[in-house]
Structure 1
Amino acid sequence: MAASKKSCAKAGGVRFSEEPPSAGAPSHVHFDEKLHDSVVMVTPEDDGNFMVKVGFLKAQHRYEIVFNLPEVPALGKDVCPAPVPSLHLRITDITPIPEGGLKVTCEYMAQHEGVLCEEVQLLSETNEDVCVKVKVHARVMDRHHGTPMLLEGVRCIGVEVEYDSEQSDWQGFD
């Protein structure tokens, strides 16, 4: 009995040729164009805010992330980070780009494994009613499971020391 073929459509990834290979013909694997794009992805959202996808990171590592935001006319050229603290993400620099938009540099501490999303806000220094939210989306893998290939715009700048209680020489209370 022949097994029925099932096909699932997925966004992004590897696609194999549907046609059976003829004798002597090489088989082909086709990679979607998005896979060749190894830069931090900035996507405008419907509400005027932005989603920044930084790819795979490693838990307990500190990263510098640099990305460009398109011009937001309401923000103007004088922009600052909101004083609302984020535990793991902070903006370290905002620079206007001559051709329009902003170059944003931030520091991100990948705390634990999983799909994480941290948010920062940008404020206009000339219009107090304007606020743009930037969500940084990362896939964080365990610190013991290999090394991710970092996207262009992401750089590891430090590793947090892992505390291991078995390495302590403290004898405890008597």
Structure 2
Amino acid sequence: MATGRKGSTSKAGGVRFPDDDEPPGSPTRRDGQSNVATLIAVSEKDGSYLVKAGFLKSHHCYEIVFTVPDVPTLGKELSCLPSSSPSRRSPSLRVQRINSTLEGGVKVTCEYRTHQEGVQQEEITMVTKGRKDNSLKVRLQARVIDPHHGTPMLLEGVRCLGARKDAHTKHSSDRKKI
């Protein structure tokens, strides 16, 4: 006979519902023009920024929208440098759009493909087009859980686009061989 915990395992104390008028220093904020919530990047001691995307499922694809507040050193036309990691053939984090905000910051929309469990960090470097000397490093951090381990509650600014097709294709082809 199997024994296990009975009852609810939900932790409602960690759930919060932010107001539309949250201050810019809060972890999430709604964009006044499009009513889309974004994560807020936090400045690190080394001059880079950190974005915490929360809990995500392995072998899934997510759209992550975050804002880097007040970046006066960068210009208006921004681009993202390719990943400098030689071990990665196809990057897990791909920047879709970079837009300047009215407040002087930068709003970034990216696609993140999770591939393994654990605390994962990906780094992007943004530069002003034509000027590679001024750059801004942003690290995205997420806790990636097993796909069979439940459903995480996503932070505002994170949207699941679905399970990765390549993960299911491998498993389905293995089943056909049996």
Query: Would you call these one fold, judging by a TM-score over 0.5?
Result: yes
CA-CA distance at 1:131 after TM superposition: 1.2
Q: Is the 8 A contact 2:72 2:104 kept in 1?
A: no
- Return 5+ residue gaps in structure 2 as ranges: 1-10, 19-26, 29-38
How far 1:46 sits from its partner (Å)? 1.4
Question: Does structure 2 retain, via aligned residues, the 8 Å contact 1:41–1:54?
Answer: no
In structure 1, the residue matched to 2:76 is 77
Q: Which runs of 4+ in 1 moved over 6 A?
A: none
Given the alignment, which residue of 161, 168, 171 partners 2:176? 168
What RMSD, in angstroms, separates the aligned Cα atoms of the two structures?
Answer: 2.4
Counting aligned pairs with the same residue, the percent is 44
Which structure carries more helix by proportion?
Answer: 2
Corresponding residue of 1:89: 93
Q: In the TM superposition, what whole-angstrom CA distance separates every residue of 1:116-159 from its partner, at most 9, and x where no partner exists?
A: 00111101125320111110000000000000000000001121
Q: Which moved more, 1:77-86 or 1:152-161?
A: 77-86
Name the stretch that deviates more: 52-61 or 119-128. Answer: 119-128
Count of residue pairs brought into register by the alignment: 140
1:166 Cα deviation from its structure 2 partner = 4.3
More off after superposition, 74-83 vs 55-64: 74-83
Give 1 or 2 for the bigger CA radius of gyration. Answer: 1
With structure 2 as the length reference, what TM-score do the two structures score? 0.70
Q: How does 1:69-148 map to 2 (within 5 A)?
A: 69-84=68-83, 87-148=91-152
The SS at the match of 1:150 is coil
Are the counterparts in 1 of residues 70 and 103 from structure 2 also a CA contact under 8 Å?
no
Counterpart of 1:22 in structure 2 is: none
Give structure 1 stretches of 5+ with no counterpart.
1-13, 15-30
SS of 2:152 mapped into structure 1: coil
